[in-house]
Amino acid sequence: MIIVSDTSPINNLAAINQLDLLQQLYNTVIIPEAVYRELTETEIPVAGATEVQTLHWIQTHQVTTRALVEVLQNELDGGEAEAIALAVELNADQVLIDERRGRMMAEQLNLPYIGILGILVEAKGQGLILEVKPLLDALIHQAGFWVAEPLYKRVLQMAGE
């Protein structure tokens, strides 16, 4: 299974000490160089920076289809554009992406995608976590991840909570 991730799922799961869910769900996660840079080349250290540099199951790949990246960068930031381009290039099974515009672009390119909330629901479904709510609350309060109230309720409903 080929999984390509944007910055947000790695950063936010690392912020709540749940990054290992990605390894448990997908074994290997591939990130483009722009995502690596977004996590590691910051003035203030961010969650996930150490992990992308040290964990063997997070692999950094270079995007070779630069023309697609350039087109995508008209609408998206560098990490999102490279994540989507790399997913297309590798014929990925799924791209991990949270931002609405990125998801819309992935959909236009027929790329299956999932965001961090879907990852939590999937993790519960596979018995990797007991409850979604404490992790969802941690994302909001610790990581500063914004979730609209209707989506919050829907995610909990999907998780059977």
pLDDT of residue 5: 98
Mean pLDDT of 105-112: 95
pLDDT tens-digit map of 59-97: 999 999 899 999 999 999 999 999 999 999 999 999 999
Mean pLDDT of 6-24: 97
pLDDT of residue 140: 95
The model's pTM is 0.94
Answer left, alpha or beta for residue 7, where phi above 0 means left and psi between -120 and 50 means alpha: alpha
Reported for 20-26, long-range contacts at CB under 8 A and 24+ positions apart, including other chains, are 21/119, 21/120, 21/123, 21/128, 21/129, 22/57, 22/58, 22/96, 22/119, 23/55, 23/57, 24/123, 24/126, 24/128, 25/119, 25/122, 25/123, 25/126, 25/128, 26/1, 26/94
Q: How many angstroms separate the CA atoms of 109 and 161, rounded?
A: 33
Q: Which fold has domain 3-116?
A: Rossmann fold (3.40.50)
pLDDT tens-digit map of 123-136: 999 999 999 999 99
Domains of the chain by residue range: 3-116, 118-158
pLDDT of residue 29: 98
pLDDT of residue 65: 86
pLDDT of residue 144: 92
pLDDT band of residue 32 (cuts 50, 70, 90) is: very high
